[in-house]
Structure 1
Amino acid sequence: MTAPLGVILAGGQARRMGGGDKGRLEIGGRSILDHVRDRLGPQVEAMALNANGDPARFADTGLPVLADSIDGFAGPLAGVLAGLDWAAGQGARHIVTVAADTPFFPADLVPQLLLAAEAQGKPIALAATPDPERGIARHPTFGLWPVALREDLRAALAAGTRKVVAWTDRYGTALASFPVDRGDPFFNVNTPDDLARARERSA
């Protein structure tokens, strides 16, 4: 399987941070978005940013900005669809998505997702971590998505589907499990307290 394209999902409204672009908050003197872009870049053929509103505010990133085609902040699946539509125009077969507020995700995320999809024979792969209560916790904004399913996803969104796993479970989902011995690699910055913890972790 050839290397997929990468899509950074930044289409949320960041209500718990008071609005604005969480990816612009700084950790260790650099924006969270810079950390995310630098981690994802070496793992993919090319990258784009899924964000709504004025795309000019991201001009300094050098990334194409993809707006949701579904109105009303339809959640991560709308960002996945925007990424799949972009990838189709590039002739790509897969994308990998990551969240724009998660600066510590694994540096081997993409190869592990590809391996999981191939080994488990599933069209979609999601990242996961051990969970003491549930056994395993899925991280559905970190996934490998085939361009071939984009029209299925478009129809599901039009029908009102919003929860990621409500759609992925229709097709069967491979899981790529990542260790948490050095902290949760999918820790995301949702609140000011989260931002403080992220700054401590990166110090």
Structure 2
Amino acid sequence: MKQPLGVILAGGQATRMGGGDKGLRVLGGQTLLARVHARLAPQVADVALNANGDAGRFADVGLPVVSDSIDGFAGPLAGVLAGLDWAAEQGADTIVTAAADTPFFPCDLVPQLQLASEGMIHPLVLAATPDPKRGTARHPTFGLWPVALRDDLRAALNGGLRKVVLWTAEHGGREAVFPEEEAFFNVNTPDDLARAEAML
């Protein structure tokens, strides 16, 4: 199986954090973005950053920055589409996405997503963790996405679709279940950042 490209999703508005870039908040002496990049890079062929606005603010990060082609902060699927368009230019078949505010995601994220995709024509898998109420809780910013479906996704977004799981379900998307419930803990608020410091 060809190694996917990695895309770090940082296109949100971080309203609960008071605005700005959550990925540039510091956790244990490193930015959240640096921590996410360090975990994702060994698992993929190359990494890009999905972010909107002035790309110059990420100059120190040293990653190509791809912005949403769908206007108006259309959510994570717009970031996925930006990543798929970038990957198509690189000749890649798939991307794996990771959120810029989730520093503890599994070091075997990519192989587990790929394992769950075996036998699929279009590998489309979301990360999930056990959930006592729902069985599993999906983490829609962590997934394996096929470049072949990018035009379908573009049409869905232009038609107003915003919910990740609605689109993945339509294409027979699967789940890769990771046992560690805290693995996808994400930093949305200053309190979350303090909790992440404790988790370190």
- TM-score computed with the length of structure 2 as normaliser: 0.98
Q: Is the 8 A contact 1:122 1:174 kept in 2?
A: no
> How far off is 1:92 after superposition?
0.2
1:19-168 equivalences in 2 (<5 Å): 19-118=19-118, 123-168=123-168
Cα-Cα RMSD? 1.1
Q: Is the 8 A contact 2:122 2:148 kept in 1?
A: no
SS of match in other structure, 1:57:
helix
**2:185 matched to which residue of 1?**
187
Q: Is the 8 A contact 2:117 2:123 kept in 1?
A: yes
Q: Is the 8 A contact 1:123 1:171 kept in 2?
A: no
> How far off is 1:123 after superposition?
2.6
Counterpart residue identity of residue 82, structure 2: A
Counterpart residue identity of residue 127, structure 1: A
Structure 1 pair 179/119, CA: closer, same or farther in 2 (3 Å)?
farther
Runs of 4+ in structure 1 off by over 6 angstroms are: none
What is the CA–CA distance in structure 2 between the aligned matches of 1:120 and 1:103, rounded to whole Å? 29
What is the CA–CA distance in structure 2 between the aligned matches of 1:92 and 1:184, rounded to whole Å? 31
Cα offsets for 1:126-175 (capped at 9, x unmatched): 10000011111111110000000000000000000001011111011121
Q: How many positions carry a matched residue from both structures?
A: 200
What is the CA–CA distance in structure 1 between the aligned matches of 2:120 and 2:127, rounded to whole Å? 13
> How far off is 1:120 after superposition?
6.7
What is the CA–CA distance in structure 2 between the aligned matches of 1:48 and 1:186, rounded to whole Å? 20
Unmatched tracts of structure 2, length 5 or more: none
What is the CA–CA distance in structure 1 between the aligned matches of 2:28 and 2:111, rounded to whole Å? 27
What is the CA–CA distance in structure 1 between the aligned matches of 2:173 and 2:78, rounded to whole Å? 18
Cα offsets for 1:68-95 (capped at 9, x unmatched): 0000000000000000000000000000
SS of match in other structure, 2:98:
strand
> How far off is 1:101 after superposition?
0.1
Structure 1 pair 46/107, CA: closer, same or farther in 2 (3 Å)?
same
What is the CA–CA distance in structure 1 between the aligned matches of 2:124 and 2:15, rounded to whole Å? 29
Unmatched tracts of structure 1, length 5 or more: none
- TM-score computed with the length of structure 1 as normaliser: 0.96
SS of match in other structure, 2:118:
helix
> How far off is 1:121 after superposition?
6.8
Counterpart residue identity of residue 153, structure 1: L
